[in-house]
Chain A
Amino acid sequence: MPEGLLIKGGRVLDPASNLDEICDVFIKEGKVRKIARNINLSYSELIDASDKIVIPGLIDMHVHLREPGREDEETIESGSRAAARGGFTTVCCMPNTDPPIDDPSLVKFIYEQAKSKGVVEVLPVATITKNREGEELSPMGRLKEAGAIAFSDDGSWVTNSALMRRALEYVKMLSLPIISHCEDKSLSAEGVMNEGYFSTVNGLAGIPREAEEVAIFRDLALAKMTDSSLHLAHVSTANSVRLIRKAKNTGIKVTAEVTPHHLAISDEGITDFNTNTKVNPPFRGKEDIELLKESLRDNTIDVIATDHAPHTVEEKERDYEEAPFGVIGLETALSLVLREVVEKKVLSLMQAIARLTVNPARILGIDRGEIREEVKANITIFDPGKSWLVREEEFLSQSSNSPFLGWKLPGKVEWTIIGGKVVYRSEK
C-alpha cells in the first residue's frame, strides 16, 4: 500500500532557501521528504498544482480568537477555520481574552481547545502583566513552560515605564519576545479615527499619529537600555517607521509588523461612517501608507500580520462612536498582500511571502515557515490567476466585520496543508 502526498508541477517558492522553481514536493509521515523535478515515488494522494504556487504555510503572529470569553465573536475552532481558508497554518492568538491569558492553566486551555477543535496550529501569546492591568508582571517563566510563545498586553500599552523595563529584562532569560501595542491613551483618548482633515470633516474625535509614535519612542529607548528583544505590533504611521529604522540602524533588537488593511485603506476612505472602517490603530493617511510600503522594502518592517479582530454584526451595527475597534483579516490577507505589495511592485512575490512565513517564524523562534526536506509539511497552495469577490456569507470566521466586503481580490488559496494533511480545500 503506497503512502504519501505528492504535490505535482507547482511553482514552489521558499523564501528561506530562495527556491523558486516548478517542481514536485513529496510528503510522507507529516514531513517533506523530497523536493525535486519529476518525483517518481509511489503515493496515496496527488495534488495537481500546475499553474499554482506552492508556498510555506503562512504564519500570522497577531490574531484575536476571542476564546475564552467572547465565543459569540469567534472561537478557536471558527478562527482556525478562517485561518486555514486564508492559507495560514500557524496563528498566534493574543491574550486580551476574558479572562486574559495570564496563568499557565489558561495557556494549556488554549492548546487543548486547539487540539480538540482547531484546524491550524494555534500558539498562545500570554500577557506581560497580571490581568493585563499594567501593574505586576505575569508569571512569565511558568507561562513559557506551559507553552506561551511571546508576551503582550495587546490592546493596552504598558504605561508604567519601570514595569516595562523589568518585563524586557526578565524575558531575556526566557528568550521570548515582548510584543508591544504602542498607544499613549492620553493622546488617543476618545478618538475613533485618524486625526486630520477627514476627522475634521466628519466631526469625529481624532487619534493623532503621535499617540503611537510617543509610545514607540519610549519602548525603543527601553529596548536599547535592556538590550532585549522588542516586537512592535501594527505599526501605522510614517514617523513610527522612521523611528524604527533609526533604531535598527543603531543595533536595537527591534522587529515590527504591519497589517494588510493599513496598507490598503487610508482615512480618505472613511466617508460614510461604515463601522467596518473603525480600527485601532486607525487607517492613516496616504503618505503613511507610502512609508509603510517603503519600510517593507528596506526591511524596517519585518512581518505582515493581520490583527484579525472579530466583532459581531450587533456590535458593528452600533454608531461610529459606540462600535468596537477592529476588523477581521485572516481570509483576505494573502490576497491583499498580492494586491497592495506584489502587484504594486513594492516587493517581489518571494519577498512578500517571506514576511508572512519565515520572518515571523524567526522572530518567534519556531521551526516553521519553510519548505525544506525533513521539516513538518505545512504548505499552502494558491492560484495566482484566480480573483474572487469578498462576500459576507462566505467567511468561515464567525464574524464578518471586514472593510473589504464587495472588493474583488487577486489570488485564491486552493489547498492548506498541515503535516501533510489537507485542512482546507477551496470549492472549485
Chain B
Amino acid sequence: MNFNRKDLLGIESLTKEEILFILETAKSFREVLDRPIKKVPTLRGKTVVNLFFESSTRTRMSFELAEKRLSADILNFSASTSSSTKGETLLDTARNILAMKVDCFVLRHSTPGTPHLLAKKLPVSIINAGDGAHEHPTQALLDLYTIREKKGKIEGLKIAIVGDIAHSRVARSNIWGMCKLGAKVRVCGPPTLIPPLVEKMGVEVFYSLEDALTGVDIVMMLRIQKERQNKGFLPSNSEYIDFFSLNEEKLNLAQPDVLVMHPGPVNRGIELPARIADGEKSIILDQVTNGVAVRMAVLYLLLAKR
C-alpha cells in the first residue's frame, strides 16, 4: 500500500485501509520499544517541531519520545514561552519557525481547524496532536492499536465511550476510527454533553450508563473537565459521579472479558475509581506504551520518504 499523505489531520478523512496500514506499521515500531537499544536511525537529519499551545504532558512526551527513538532533531515550543502572547498569530509563528528549515510540525491547539490552516499554508507535514474538540488522530490510532492487540480484532466489537462527548476530540476521532473498522459504537453521557446529531456519525446514544454498558466488550471513559459545572452543563460534579462514574456493579453488566480504557489523565474517583483504573480489566497503561509506537509509525510514514 502507498501511504502518500503530507499531513495527518484527522481520522475522518482516512480510509479503513490507511488506518490498518498505520496500525500494521506501528507493530514493527512497538517491537523496537522492547529492545535494549530503543533507537533507530529512520529520521536522522529530519527536524520535528512540537508546537503546543495547550498544556499536555502525556501526548507531548509521547511524541517527543517517538521522535527521539526515530533519531529526529526536535524543537519544542509551548504557549507559555511563546510569542503568541505578544500578538503573533499562529500562522506567523509557524512561518517563522519554518524559515529555520524544519520538516514537520506537531500541533496541539485549542481551536478546531488550526492544523488544517497550517497544512493549507505550509509545504511541510502537519500532525494534529489535538485541535479543540475536533480531532486527536494519534490518540484514536493508539486506542485502536491497543484494542486490536488485546482483542485480536475490532470488527463486531461493542464499544461504549462515556462522558463529555460534546467537548471531546478523543471521542470524535475514535468514533470515526472504530466505525470505519466495523465496531458498534455507543456514546453515553448527560444530554447536555452529547453533541447534536452525533448519531449521524454512526453511533447509538445512551443517557443511562447501565444501558450503555450492557454487553459491551470495551468501555472508554473520558475525562470530565471541572469547568463544565460552571458553564451550566452539569448541576454538580458530585451529581455527575452518581450517574456516570464507573463501578464494579455497573461493569458487571458488560461482557466478562470487558476492557477499560481512558485517554488520560484520569480524574481518579470521578470517571472511575482507582480500583478499576489499576485493576485487571484496565488497559490504560498499555494505551500509553502503544502511543509511542503509533506515533513513531505516523512520523515515519509522513516523513521518511519526503
Which residue numbers of A lie inside 8 Å of B, CB to CB?
195-197, 199-204, 206, 272-273, 314, 317-322
Q: Is B131 touching A203 in the complex (CB atoms < 8 A)?
A: yes
Q: Assess A322 versus B112: contact at CB under 8 Å? Given A197-B196, A202-B134.
A: no
B225 contacts chain A at the CB level, 8 A cutoff: no
Would you list 7 pairs from A and B whose C-beta atoms are within 8 A, ordered by A residue?
Answer: A195-B196, A203-B132, A203-B135, A204-B134, A317-B91, A320-B111, A320-B113
Name the residue in B111, B116, B131 with the highest tally of chain A Cβ atoms < 10 Å from its Cβ: B111
Q: Assess A322 versus B111: contact at CB under 8 Å? Given A201-B172, A203-B172, A273-B117.
A: yes
Residues of B within 8 A of A204 (CB): 112-113, 132-134
Residue of chain B at shortest CB distance from A189: B231
Name the residue in A199, A200, A317, A319 with the highest tally of chain B Cβ atoms < 10 Å from its Cβ: A319
B201 contacts chain A at the CB level, 8 A cutoff: yes
Q: Is B117 touching A203 in the complex (CB atoms < 8 A)?
A: no
Name the residue in B111, B113, B132, B172 with the highest tally of chain A Cβ atoms < 10 Å from its Cβ: B113
Residues of A within 8 A of B172 (CB): 201, 203
| B 256-273 contacts with A by CB, 8 A | none
Residues of B within 8 A of A201 (CB): 12, 172, 201
Residues of A within 8 A of B135 (CB): 203
Q: Is B134 touching A319 in the complex (CB atoms < 8 A)?
A: no
Q: Is A200 touching B91 in the complex (CB atoms < 8 A)?
A: no
Q: How many residues of B contact A (CB 8 A)?
A: 26
B182 contacts chain A at the CB level, 8 A cutoff: no
Interface residues of A, dominant DSSP: loop
Which residue numbers of B lie inside 8 Å of A, CB to CB?
12, 89-91, 109, 111-114, 116-117, 120, 131-135, 166, 169, 172, 195-198, 200-201
CA distance A161 to B112 in the complex (A): 36
CA distance A206 to B166 in the complex (A): 11
Which 3 A-B pairs give the minimum distances between C-beta atoms?
A273-B113, A203-B134, A203-B133
Q: Is B112 touching A273 in the complex (CB atoms < 8 A)?
A: yes
Cβ contact of B197, chosen from A197, A202, A318, A321, cutoff 8 A: A197
Residues of B within 8 A of A196 (CB): 196-197
CA distance A318 to B93 in the complex (A): 12
CA distance A220 to B196 in the complex (A): 28
CA distance A320 to B166 in the complex (A): 18
Q: Is A206 touching B196 in the complex (CB atoms < 8 A)?
A: yes
Residues of B within 8 A of A197 (CB): 196-197, 200
CA distance A160 to B127 in the complex (A): 47
Residues of B within 8 A of A320 (CB): 111-113
Residues of A within 8 A of B117 (CB): 273, 319
CA distance A2 to B24 in the complex (A): 85
Residue of chain B at shortest CB distance from A193: B112
Residues of A within 8 A of B195 (CB): 199-200
Residue of chain A at shortest CB distance from B198: A200
- Known contacts A199-B195, A201-B201, A204-B112; 12 additional CB pairs below 8 A are A197-B196, A202-B113, A203-B135, A204-B113, A204-B132, A272-B116, A317-B91, A318-B90, A319-B111, A319-B117, A320-B111, A321-B111
CA distance A204 to B132 in the complex (A): 8
CA distance A201 to B13 in the complex (A): 12
B175 to chain A, nearest CB (A): 10
B133 to chain A, nearest CB (A): 3
CA distance A195 to B166 in the complex (A): 12
A289 to chain B, nearest CB (A): 18
A199 to chain B, nearest CB (A): 7
B176 to chain A, nearest CB (A): 9
Residues of A within 8 A of B114 (CB): 319
Residues of B within 8 A of A319 (CB): 90, 109, 111, 113-114, 117
B173 to chain A, nearest CB (A): 10
CA distance A201 to B135 in the complex (A): 9
Residue of chain A at shortest CB distance from B166: A200
Q: Assess A203 versus B196: contact at CB under 8 Å? Given A273-B117, A317-B89, A319-B90.
A: no
CA distance A197 to B131 in the complex (A): 18
A212 to chain B, nearest CB (A): 16
B159 to chain A, nearest CB (A): 19
CA distance A201 to B172 in the complex (A): 7
Residues of B within 8 A of A195 (CB): 196
Name the residue in A195, A202, A314 with the highest tally of chain B Cβ atoms < 10 Å from its Cβ: A202
CA distance A364 to B120 in the complex (A): 44
B165 to chain A, nearest CB (A): 9
Residue of chain B at shortest CB distance from A208: B196
B167 to chain A, nearest CB (A): 8
Residues of B within 8 A of A318 (CB): 89-90
A420 to chain B, nearest CB (A): 47
CA distance A319 to B89 in the complex (A): 9
Cβ contact of A203, chosen from B89, B120, B169, B200, cutoff 8 A: B169
Residue of chain A at shortest CB distance from B165: A200
A403 to chain B, nearest CB (A): 15
Q: Is A200 touching B113 in the complex (CB atoms < 8 A)?
A: no
